[in-house]
Structure 1
C-alpha cells in the first residue's frame, strides 16, 4: 500500500458521496468493479497500519501488488497451485484478503479458505495481526450500499467464518492439524506456508479439497513443503522482493542489514534460500579469523566446564575473559567427584568469578560435589541445563524462548554471532565493539569442534542446534571444548547467580522480569 495523497482521499470521498444516493450509478459501479478487482480495491478498500499516522489508510496497491492480484486470478482461472515467495511485510496477506473479499462480494457460491499453522493466527478477535481481523476491518469499511442484502455481522461473521447471505459465498479459516477438515473450497491460501507445523498432514487434506492453492511465505530453510514446491519447477512462482515495494529504500535495506541477524536477514529480506539452507553453524573462515586476534580482555574471568559423557569424550574447561578465551584444558579418566575438584582447582587458580557447567545427566554429580564442599568455594557455582528453555534474555525485543528451542542453541548462536562479527572486522574492516567479538587460542581441536555442529530451523521458525546424539550418527564425537567455550562466553548469565539461571524451572532472583542483551545480537 502506498501512503494516501490528498488526490486519492478527495477522489474517494467524492465518488462514494455521489454514489450513495444514485442507484443507477451504483449498478454501473458494481458491474465495473466486479470485472476489475484492482480498481475495486483501489476505490473501496482500506487497510490498517499502526506504524503510520493516520493508521487507517486507503488501500492503494502499488504496481507489483496489482500484478499479484492478477496472478492469483490466473491461478484461480487455471485451477492450479501457485507459490508466492516474499520479503516480509510486503502486504501480501492484505492482498490475498482483498482478492478473496472481492470474490465473496461479487461471485455466487464462492468459498475461500485461509490456513495458518495455528487457528489463533487465522482469527482472534481484536488482534489485527490475524487474517480475519484484516478481513473484518476491510469489510467494515466497505460503503454500506455495497454490502450483501441481509448481511448481519452478528449472524454472518463468526470465528473463522464470513458468510454472504445474498449469493451463498463464504470465507473460512482453519489452523494447525484441523486444516483441510472444513470441506471443499474454491481456493486455499496457505499463509506462511514454510512454517506449518505438520505439512505432511495438512497438504493431503487441502489437496483433496481444492485444486487451486496459493502458498505464501518467506523462506524457512530446507526440508520444508514450501521449499520443495518452490524449487520443483512444477508451479508458477510469484516473487515479491523488497525492491518491488516503493515504500522501501536503500537506506531501509542498509538499516535492516545492520539490525538483523544475517540468517534472518537473508530469509526475511533477501528471500535467500542458499543462506537459509546453510546448516553449518559457524563456518571455518569465521573461526580462523578469531585465532590470536588482539582484543582487550574483559575484567571478569569466567570458567565454562563440559563434563564428559561415557565413551571417548573428555572433560573440558574454558577460561574466558570475554571477549578473549584465555586457555582451555581437557582430561579424561576421572569420575564426577574428581572432575569437580579439578575444575574447582582451576577456577580458583585463575580467580574466576563463576564456574558454569551443564548439570544435566552426568553433570549432576559435579553439582552434588561442589554443593557439598565443607568450605564454600571462592567463586559462584552456576549449574545450567542446556536442554531446558532458553534464558530470560530479550534480543532485539524478542524473547530468547521465541528464537531458540533450548538454552544450548542460544549459547552456541551467540558464539556464532561473535565469530561472524570478528570475521567481518578482520576481513571487511567493519567496526564492531570489541566486546561483541572473540579471540581464541591457536588450538586445532577447538577450531575443528567449533565448525562441527549444524543447525536448522524448526517448523515454527526457531533455531535448533544439532544434538550430540545426532552428531554421533555422523561419526562426530561430542564437541567438549566447544560446549565449554559456549558456556564460558555467553552473556545470557551476566550478573546472575546460580539460583537465577536454573532455567529448567521458573526463573528466580530479583530483577528477573526482563533482561536485554547488549550489542547488535540480532
Structure 2
C-alpha cells in the first residue's frame, strides 16, 4: 500500500506551532525566575535588617538542604542571554530535583553508593555542588570529594564549567553573615580545595587516575563517570576511601563501568539509582495538540523535545544525552543491550536440545570459555584454564548432558577440540563450526532473502540468529508479543557474578555492516575497539545450527587423474 505524500505546508504549519509553543513557554519560565528573584531580594533585605529573622533563616538552612538551595543558591548559565533569560539565576528546585537532594541525604544515612543517570541539562551537577556547599557550611569535619575524567574539568580558575568554580560562585552569592567567619577566598580556596576555617570542613577534587588517591572522604561524587578512563581502577581506589560513592553521567555506550552498574551487571547488591529524565521536568514535558503528520485528526506532542531534536546534528548523540539511551551511540549493534537485560529477567523452562559451545583463547588477553544451554535457557558460562581446557570442557559437557559441543574448527580451538574428540568415553558429538564457511539457505523472519545471499559468512549468520532470539525475548518481555519459549533466550538461571557480567556486556559488543557489491552483512565481533567477546562467542557457538552440508565431490577415477596430468603437460610444453 502506498502512503499518501506528506504536505510541505503541513510540515511548515507543525514546525511553526512547535516553535511558538517553545518560545511562549520560555516567557513563562522567565516570568517565574523574575518573581523568584524578587522574593529572594525581599528575604535578604529582611534578614539584613532583622537579626531575629536572620537567626530563623539560618536555623532553617542548617536543618534542611532543600530550604538552603531554594533560598540561597544561585546558578550561572551563559546560554541564557540568547534565550531571553539572565545568566545569573536563582536555583528553584523542581519536585524531582528536591527528591534528588533527599536521595543524597538517604545515601549518606544508609552509607550506600548510588548512581545518577540523566538527560542533559537537568541540573544534577549544580545540585550536587550546592549540596556540598551546604555540608561544607553546616557539617563539622565534612570532607567532600569531587572528581571527573581530568583535572581541568574539576578546577580551572575562572571557568564556570568546572566543578570548583561552580562551588566558588555559589559561595560568593551568599550573604556575608552566612559565610564562615573569617573566610577569605584567597586564603581558603586553593586549586581543587575549599576549606571552612570555622568547622574545618573541606571540599577537595581530583581528576583521572588520581580520583580516590587523596585520602578519605565523607562522600565522593564523580561527574560524567561514563567517560572516566580506567574506571575500574578508579573505583577500587574510591572503595577504600569513602563510604558513599555517587557516580553521575549521561550514558556513553555500554562498554564502561557506569553502564554495567546502571544495568545491574556488577557483583553484589544493585546500587540505588536515581534517574533525571527530561519527561519529569515541567519546563520540558508540556504538551501541544497539532495536526497529525499522516492521516486525519491531531496528535499530542512534546514541543520542547521535537524542537531540540530538530536542531540536533547527530540524532544518535541526541538520543544518548536526552533519552538516556545506552545503545544510541553504538551504531549497527547486532544485539541491543536492552534485549540482553530482557533475557536476564525472562525465566523459562529448560528443554531439549542441550548443546554447548567452546571459544578457545588465541592470544594472551583472550579467554577460553565454555557455554551451554538447554533449549532456550542458558545454563552455564564458565571461563576455563587454558592448560586444562580439554578435560574441563569434557567434564562440563558430561555434567550438562549435552548432545553436541561446538567450536571454531579453523581457529586455535581445533587442537583442543581434537583432544576432546579423541576420547573413547564421549557421550556427545564434537562438531566444528567453520566461521568463514558458506551460510545456509534458511530464510529468517526479518527478511525475504535466503541467508546465503544475505550474509558474508556462516559466523555472521550465527550472530544474526542470536540477535533474533534476543530481539524476540525483548518483544515478549516489554511489548507482550507472544513469542514461544523456544524462539527466545533466558539468562535468568545464570548465577550473578563476573562471568554473567562479562557475557551480558559482550553480547552487545559486536557490530555489523555491509560489504562488497553484493551488500552482504558481515559482523565485527570486537565492535568499536573492544576485545574478543569470548563469553558471547562461546554462546554463539552453543546456539549455532549444524553447518550446511557441502555437496560431496564426484568420485575420482584413474582416467580423471590421467586426463588432468595430460592437460597440465600440454600447458607447460
Q: Call closer, same or farther: CA 1:160–1:221 in 2, change over 3 Å.
A: same
Say which of 259, 266, 277 aligns to 1:241.
Answer: 277
> Residue in 2 aligned with 1:382?
none
2:77 maps to 1:49:
yes
User: 2-side partners of 1:199 and 1:466: how far apart?
Assistant: 15
Cα pair 1:454 1:465 within 8 Å, conserved: no
Measure, in 2, the Cα distance between the counterparts of 1:444 and 1:148: 69
Alpha-carbon deviation of 1:256?
3.1
Shift of 1:247: 2.4
User: Contact conserved, 2:137 with 2:201, CA < 8 A, in 1?
Assistant: yes
Is the CA contact (8 Å cut-off) linking 1:453 and 1:465 kept in structure 2? no
After superposition, where does 1:139-154 map in structure 2 within 5 Å? 139-154=171-186
Match of 1:452 in 2: 523
1:261 maps to: 314
Aligned with 2:263 (options 231, 234, 239): 231
Q: 1-side partners of 2:135 and 2:72: how far apart?
A: 14
In structure 2, the residue matched to 1:218 is 250
* Separation of aligned partners in 1, 2:517 and 2:232: 40
How far did residue 37 of structure 1 move? Answer: 0.9
Distance 2:166 2:229 in 1: 23
Hey, what does 1:20 align to over in structure 2? 48
Deviations 1:290-349 (A, max 9, x none): xxxxxxxxxxxxxxxxxxxxxxxxxxxxxxxxxxxxxxxxxxxxxxxxxxxxxxxxxxxx
Distance 1:446 1:124, change over 3 A: farther
For structure 1, which runs of at least 5 residues remain unmatched after alignment?
Answer: 284-441, 457-463, 475-522
- Could you say which residue in structure 1 is the equivalent of 2:121? 89
* 2:215 counterpart SS class: coil
Q: How does 1:109-188 map to 2 (within 5 A)?
A: 109-188=141-220
TM-score when normalising by structure 1? 0.55
Q: CA deviation at 1:6?
A: 3.7
Q: How many residues align?
A: 307
Per-residue CA deviation, residues 58-99 of structure 1 (Å, 9 max, x unaligned), is 111111111111111111111111111001111100010011
* 2:251 corresponds to 1:199: no
**CA 1:453–1:260: 2 relative to 1, 3 Å:** farther
- For the Cα contact (< 8 Å) 1:280–1:452, is it kept in 2? no
1:272 aligned residue (325, 343, 346) = 325
1:349-405 Cα deviation digits (max 9, x unpaired) = xxxxxxxxxxxxxxxxxxxxxxxxxxxxxxxxxxxxxxxxxxxxxxxxxxxxxxxxx
3-state secondary structure, aligned to 2:57: helix
Q: In angstroms, what is the RMSD of aligned CA positions?
A: 2.9
The 5 A counterparts of 1:319-330 are: none
CA-to-aligned-CA distance 1:400-458 (integer Å, 9 cap, x gap): xxxxxxxxxxxxxxxxxxxxxxxxxxxxxxxxxxxxxxxxxx99754125x534786xx
The CA distance in 2 between the partners of 1:455 and 1:94, in whole Å, is 38
Contact 1:280 1:454 (C-alpha < 8 Å) held by counterparts = no
Q: Secondary structure at the match of 1:20?
A: helix
Separation of aligned partners in 2, 1:115 and 1:88: 18
In structure 2, the CA distance between the partners of 1:96 and 1:197, relative to structure 1 (3 Å rule), is same
